[in-house]
Structure 1
Amino acid sequence: MSAIEKAAREAVEAADNTELTRQIVAILAAQQLLNQQQPQQPAAPAQRFDAKKWVVIGGVVVSVGLVGALFAVAIAVGAVCATACLLILRSMWRDFQKGN
């Protein structure tokens, strides 16, 4: 290999490296321009604590609980009355069957 061929090969490699370097620099410049053009969107602002909302939720929960409790008491009272009525009627039926 002669010195001229070696120099020619090195010149071609240098030209390739120079072109590759120019492309990398162009890509980096384009990315920087895109980053400058796109404004950074701020994170969603944190919601403020709304006491009114929680008071309303608490009031609804308490109201539903009270209605449920009253409904349960009404069912219990009805069951006791029905049981007492059936016991009295059974006693009366037995007395009637015995002839009293």
Structure 2
Amino acid sequence: MSNLDKASQDAIDAAANSEQVALILAVLQAQQLAQQPVTPPAPAPAPQPSGSAAKWLAIGAGGSALLLAVAVSAIAVAISAVALTVCLLVLRSVWQDIRKD
């Protein structure tokens, strides 16, 4: 047997051994997967909040405008209450003057 024949026979044997090793590894991986407990998938990470200054400035401006509107409305209600009270006092005085006569 020449060196070339011996080398080709060794190559054929190596290829057969590689196929056997690959088959054994596949069987071992299948056994390991079968033995592992099933775990639920990890939850997706929550998005990180952006701390931009523009967002906080917009929130501050919106909140200020809202509070200013509430304050003006409260002043309008107070002025209306005072005007109604003065009107009722004047009408009561006029009614009492009419009843005296």
Question: What TM-score results when the alignment is normalised by the length of structure 2?
Answer: 0.54
Distance in 2, Cα, partners of 1:54 & 1:87:
50
Match of 2:78 among 76, 79, 82: 76
Structure 1 stretches lacking a partner, 5+ long: 1-21, 32-42
DSSP-derived class of the 2:66 partner: helix
Distance in 2, Cα, partners of 1:47 & 1:98:
75
Distance in 2, Cα, partners of 1:45 & 1:87:
63
In the TM superposition, residue 28 of structure 1 has moved relative to its aligned partner by 7.4
Across the two proteins, how many residue pairs are aligned to each other? 66
Would the alpha carbon gap of residues 49 and 97 (structure 1) be closer, same or farther in structure 2, given more than 3 Å must change?
same
Would the alpha carbon gap of residues 90 and 45 (structure 1) be closer, same or farther in structure 2, given more than 3 Å must change?
closer
Q: In structure 1, what is the equivalent of residue 53 of structure 2? A: 51
Structure 2 stretches lacking a partner, 5+ long: 1-23, 34-44
In the TM superposition, residue 27 of structure 1 has moved relative to its aligned partner by 2.1
In the TM superposition, residue 49 of structure 1 has moved relative to its aligned partner by 1.5
**Deviation digits for residues 19-77 of structure 1, max 9, x if unmatched?**
xxx68x7127976xxxxxxxxxxx56634321101111111111111100110110011
Match of 2:92 among 90, 93, 96: 90
Q: CA RMSD for the aligned pairs?
A: 2.8
User: Percent identity among equivalent residues?
Assistant: 38
- Counterpart residue identity of residue 82, structure 1: L
Distance in 2, Cα, partners of 1:78 & 1:69:
14
Would the alpha carbon gap of residues 45 and 82 (structure 1) be closer, same or farther in structure 2, given more than 3 Å must change?
closer
